[in-house]
Chain A
Amino acid sequence: MNFILDGLFQAIQLLIRGDGETYSAVSATLKVSTYSMVVSLLVGIPLGFLLGHHDFLWKKHIRTITDTLMSLPTVLVGLLVYAFLTSRGPLGEYGLLFTLEGIAIGQAILAIPIVIALTATAVESIDEKLRITLISLGADKKQVFYSTIWEARYGLLAAGMNAYGRVLTEVGIAMMVGGNIKWHTRTITTAIALETNKGQFEMGVALGLILMAIAGIVNFSLSFLRNRS
């Protein structure tokens, strides 16, 4: 039990002391989650909009598939991405294995189905009357898209936060694709796994608390923005 309290003190110490390893892991985590979130939002929101807004053949089946992909195991994604990025894999020549960009690819694969499915739900929950209203106020197709996205902004925010939560806390992809290389691809989560393996439970707890703090800061600032608008 003691190590949890010790972990809290250690977390504070690490942050105040400006511990290099900790800040390196924090920076890696922030970078990689930002890359993957930007990609998954850019890809996921338009696809989710299409899925939620339009009717087409197989729509129901595609929704079921994206809903299922929301529970992709991170280790599986890690293995798949490794298979593509390894020097012997089809994308080996780009040298993305054991890089932050490589982890971001895997995390984007993890996050995109979440963004698609939750965007589709948010767009679906918007009234059909919105479309009618926008068209009858003179919106063209592009403006209908942008205005619908803007109307669904709270739903999209939830989609983004959900995906961010998954990306921030996953360890399987970061470990397998990133390799947990110190000063380089060691993220907070792989560092926690390592410290736990080394029996440094206090350190694991400390890093875990720092991760929680990051998630907290992100959520608080988003809800602050939300309340202001």
Chain B
Amino acid sequence: MKRNVFITSLTMIAAFLILYGSAAFSGDVKLLRMATTTSTDDTGLLDYLKPYFVKETGIDIQWVATGTGKALKLGENCDADVLLVHAPDSEKKFVADGFGLNRNVVMYNDFVLIGPASDPAGVKSKNVKECLSAISSKNIKFVSRGDKSGTHQAEQALWKASGLPVPDKEPWYVQAGQGMLTTIQIAAEQNGYTLTDRGTYIKYEDTMKGNPPLKILVEGDDLLKNIYSVIVVNQAKCPNVKSDLAKAFSDWMSRPSTQKLITGFKLSGKQLFFISSK
């Protein structure tokens, strides 16, 4: 009796597996796999664009959202067909090393420096150089992504551009090793400053119901431009990647109609991404 129950449940599990197994292997549609950064996914931009892309090209798309560092690594390992990332220096190296083709700048937004409303470092409305010098000389808490993401790389470039050494073990310099929103939250908990892309900040502002403890203190500096580009993974290095689909995506992102969609994407009534950058 009990043995029967046991065997019956095993059979049911087996049947379940076979059904799902066959379902998983059927339907080999045109599927594009993209590795991208968390900001494009967290803000909802990709979810917003996907149905248009599928409808207009007949290509299905899936993405793995991660830091730009890991996204590039996935491309290097041939685990993605196309990349949508925002770390120009690393991207150029990636293409130079032969892993990627057709680096196609598709949009930009900008980074902003945020900090407590009380602004203990006194950086409001200063430029980036002055701001970072003030933070480091006054030993005010600064929270960094610390995860080799596009934002992290942009932040490191800012320290260098300001003529300062990139901090590492300094007690006021906190390396979170987390995504952008978590990093903002850590900065808020610690009453510190951080660098974020504007899109994520708007999202954060939105979740805080318009009254966030951290405010934008420095913005609009040319150094703060955050450029997103699409890179097709090189089929010469990765024979199995679908570079035709990847190319189709890259082209589609540059289409005027798509660019219009991107500028039309708003969160809390604010535009997140901009086009026609150099």
Contacts and interface: CB of A to CB of B under 8 A. Distances in A.
A129 to B, nearest CB: 22
B20 A197 contact: no
A197 B185 CA distance: 9
B64 A180 contact: yes
Interface string B73-88: 0000111000000000
Interface string A168-183: 0000000000011111
Interface string A77-120: 00000000011110011000111110000000000000000000
Interface stretch (A31-39, A63-71, A131-139): A31-39
Given A179-B64, A181-B64, A198 B42 contact: yes
A197 B178 contact: yes
Contact of B79 (A31, A86, A197): A86
Contact of B24 (A88, A93, A97, A101): A101
A47 to B, nearest CB: 18
A197 B38 contact: yes
A2 to B, nearest CB: 12
A200 B179 CA distance: 13
Contact of A86 (B42, B47, B78): B78
Given A86-B78, A98-B79, A197 B182 contact: yes
Q: Pick from B5, B178, B179 the residue with the most CB of A within 10 Å.
A: B179
A9 interface: no
A111 to B, nearest CB: 15
B63 A181 contact: yes
Contacts of B178: 197
B204 A199 contact: yes
Contact of A199 (B5, B20, B77, B181): B181
A154 interface: no
Contacts of A87: 77-79, 238, 240-241
Given A87-B240, A99-B24, A200 B64 contact: no
Contact of B64 (A88, A89, A93, A98): A98
B13 A98 contact: no
A93 B238 CA distance: 12
A184 B62 contact: yes
B203 interface: yes
A26 to B, nearest CB: 14
Interface string B7-35: 00000011011001000100000000100
B62 A199 contact: no
B65 interface: yes
B40 to A, nearest CB: 13
A31 B42 CA distance: 26
A131 to B, nearest CB: 20
A31 B241 CA distance: 27
Contacts of A220: none
Contacts of A197: 38, 42, 178-182
Contacts of A89: 77
B5 A229 contact: yes
Nearest to B185: A199
Contacts of A199: 181-182, 184-185, 203-204, 207
Interface of B: 2-3, 5, 13-14, 16-17, 20, 24, 33, 38, 42, 47, 62-66, 77-79, 178-182, 184-185, 203-204, 207, 238, 240-241
Interface of A: 31, 34-35, 38, 86-89, 92-93, 97-101, 150, 179-184, 194, 196-200, 225, 228-229
Given A197-B42, A197-B178, A198-B203, 17 more contacts: A35-B17, A38-B13, A86-B78, A87-B77, A87-B238, A87-B240, A99-B24, A182-B47, A182-B63, A184-B62, A197-B179, A197-B180, A199-B185, A200-B207, A225-B5, A228-B5, A229-B2
